[in-house]
Amino acid sequence: FLTELTRLFQKCRTSGSVFITLKKYDGRTKPVPRKGHAESFEPADNKCLLRATDGKKKISTVVSSKEVNKFQMAYSNLLRANMDGLKKKDKKSKNKKSKATQ
């Protein structure tokens, strides 16, 4: 997933957006039935679903609490490395308000 995500960011550098969605995931793979007969499985609580798209291609992965540490390190680096097209602040305006934003 992380490789694909890197590629997705790189592809979009010249145009378009990258959308990333994060949702809590309970392990359900079938849609909830309309006339409730009780679900026959245990919803798991410790997973989340991470999706990324550039509007055309979609990728997704499930992260569980065991993987979250390792995944986050790589994922944070990835986000920071790729979201570098933003404006940098001037030195002059930094002094006055720097404490408030921390």
Going by C-alpha positions, the residue among 25, 2, 23 that lies closest to residue 82 is: 2
For other proteins, the closer of residues 41 and 64 by Cβ is 64
Min dist. Cβ of residue 47 to other proteins (A): 6
Check: CB of residue 82 under 8 Å from CB of residue 9.
Answer: yes
Helix (H) or strand (E) holding 51: strand 47-53
Interacting positions 14-73 with other proteins (CB under 8 A): 14-25, 45-48, 50, 63-65, 68, 72
Closest separation in Å from C-beta 35 to other proteins: 19
> Among 1, 4, 6, 12, which residue sits at the site for other proteins (rule: CB under 8 A)?
12
Smallest CA-to-CA distance from 4 within 77, 55, 61, 47 is with 61
Of the two residues 41 and 89, which places its CB atom closer to other proteins in the complex? 89
Residue 90 half-sphere exposure toward CB, CA atoms < 13 A: 3
Question: Where do contacts with other proteins occur on this chain (CB under 8 A)?
Answer: 9, 12-25, 45-48, 50, 63-65, 68, 72, 75-76, 79-80, 82-89, 101
